[in-house]
């Protein structure tokens, strides 16, 4: 493998080890030492790829975001009719399968970590609110949204519903199977649209 | 003050110091040592009230729950008409003011802490889902809920909306003022009800 690709692949392996550490013990377990151990690397070898814990956590989080974005791009390329397209895109924001469940846990732990670290200066940059807003605009532009809906407030509601469902599925996966969680979001979107 | 009351008041002071420590630095900051310092007590004095960190965290969390329950009981005693009553009760589950914002942060940090500690054995015991379910049943029994609503699924949606809004207000209080957050929940409940 060319060196650059090899370097990037290694960084991704380390990021995935980071996820595993966070999933097992929360963000407080995500020390460079623990991550190196999980990735089967010496501290020195890990520092070759990431010089600080912050840099590593940022990378691990960006990887969550870019994987989710890549899945959404795949959905968008399928040419679904508008309502189905919106539903499928928004389902990608929920932790439905094992992989997205892991991503969600990492996102959750990392977001809280940043909020505590940055306090009032914290800004949410995961792009979920923007994705929800664009989805609702798209339904409106295609004549699917029921009349008398205030787009701004519908965005807040749907955005809260998505993050709330994600958290409930994380906390109680036995009650909230992936299928059941998807069903609830799908029904919610149906309710927003005309018959 | 009689000794027993004094003892209980002291425990509440320590619980509030615990909240402050969690709000400032997350659950990972909530060591017995940090809490004793915040409460202006020696480690020995603190151990007189709580012999382990777990016992202290449990008490601090139960205090959040019982304060919220007490506020809800106060609302229930006011004899509001059904829809207004339900709205006011559910608003008590959101972090609207400074006090409930603090409680919510503690609840959030503690819930995650337990989830990581207990893994699959974790069960949510905050009673919020049950409160939401009872509220919707009450609307139905009083003829306010729109027809064709599936109570089970409406419970999931409203419960997710409430926890999602709570988290968004915590993460981004500048955008989600208490008033704005309350407005969104109120509108959502209005939408569930007949004209």
What local confidence, expressed as pLDDT, does residue B49 receive?
Answer: 96
The answer for residues whose C-beta is within 8 angstroms of residue B16's C-beta and 6 or more apart is: none
Task: Count CB-CB contacts under 10 A for residue A22.
Answer: 27
pLDDT tens digit sequence for A60-80: 999 999 999 999 999 999 999
Helices (H), B41-150: 43-49, 53-76, 82-91, 98-118, 128-141
pLDDT at A119: 84
Is the pLDDT assigned to residue A1 strictly greater than 60?
A: no
Phi-psi sector, B119: left (phi>0), alpha (psi -120 to 50), beta: left
Question: What are the pLDDT digits (tens) for B110-152?
Answer: 888 888 888 889 998 888 999 999 999 999 999 999 988 999 9
Task: Give chain A's radius of gyration (CA, Å).
Answer: 19
Considering only CB atoms, which chain A residues are within 8 Å of B118? none
Reply yes or no on whether the pLDDT at B37 is more than 80: yes
A82 Cα to chain B: minimum distance (Å): 23
B41/chain A closest Cα distance in angstroms? 25
Of A126 and A188, the structure prediction assigns the larger pLDDT to A188
ipTM: 0.91
Q: For residue A148, give the CATH number of its domain.
A: 1.10.357.10
Q: Which residues of A touch B165 (CB under 8 A)?
A: 156, 160, 164
DSSP A14-80: HHHHHHHHHHHH-GGG--HHHHHHHTT--HHHHHHH-SSHHHHHHHHHHHHHHHHHHHHHHHHTT--
What range does the domain containing B109 cover? Answer: 3-192
How many independent structural domains does chain B possess? 1
Picking from B158, B103, B26, the residue whose alpha carbon sits closest to that of residue A118 is: B26
The answer on pLDDT for A109 being more than 90 is: no
Residue in A34, A99, A28, A113 with CA at minimum distance from that of residue A14: A34
**Residue from B146, B156, B158, B168 whose CB has the most chain A CBs within 10 Å, to mutate:** B156
- pLDDT tens for B148-192 read 899 999 999 999 999 999 999 999 999 999 999 999 999 999 999
Question: CA-to-CA distance for B182 and A138, rounded, in angstroms?
Answer: 27
Residue B36: pLDDT over 60 = yes
* pLDDT grade for A2, boundaries at 50, 70 and 90: low
């Amino acid at each position: 493998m060319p060196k650059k690709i090899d370097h990037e692949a290694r960084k991704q392996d380390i990021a995935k080890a980071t996820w595993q550490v966070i999933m097992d013990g929360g963000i407080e377990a995500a020390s460079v030492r623990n991550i190196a151990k999980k990735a089967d690397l010496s501290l020195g070898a890990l520092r070759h790829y990431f010089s600080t814990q912050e840099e590593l956590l940022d990378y691990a989080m960006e990887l969550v975001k870019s994987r989710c974005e890549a899945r959404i791009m795949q959905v968008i390329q399928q040419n679904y009719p508008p309502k189905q397209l919106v539903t499928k895109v928004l389902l990608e924001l929920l932790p439905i399968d094992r992989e997205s469940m892991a991503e969600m846990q990492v996102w959750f732990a990392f977001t809280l970590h940043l909020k505590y670290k940055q306090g009032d200066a914290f800004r949410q940059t995961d792009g979920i609110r923007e994705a929800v807003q664009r989805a609702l605009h798209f339904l409106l532009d295609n004549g699917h949204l029921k009349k008398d809906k205030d787009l701004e407030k519908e965005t807040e509601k749907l955005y809260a519903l998505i993050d709330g469902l994600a958290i409930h599925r994380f906390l109680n996966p036995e009650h909230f199977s992936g299928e059941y969680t998807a069903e609830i979001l799908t029904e919610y979107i149906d309710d927003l649209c005309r018959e």
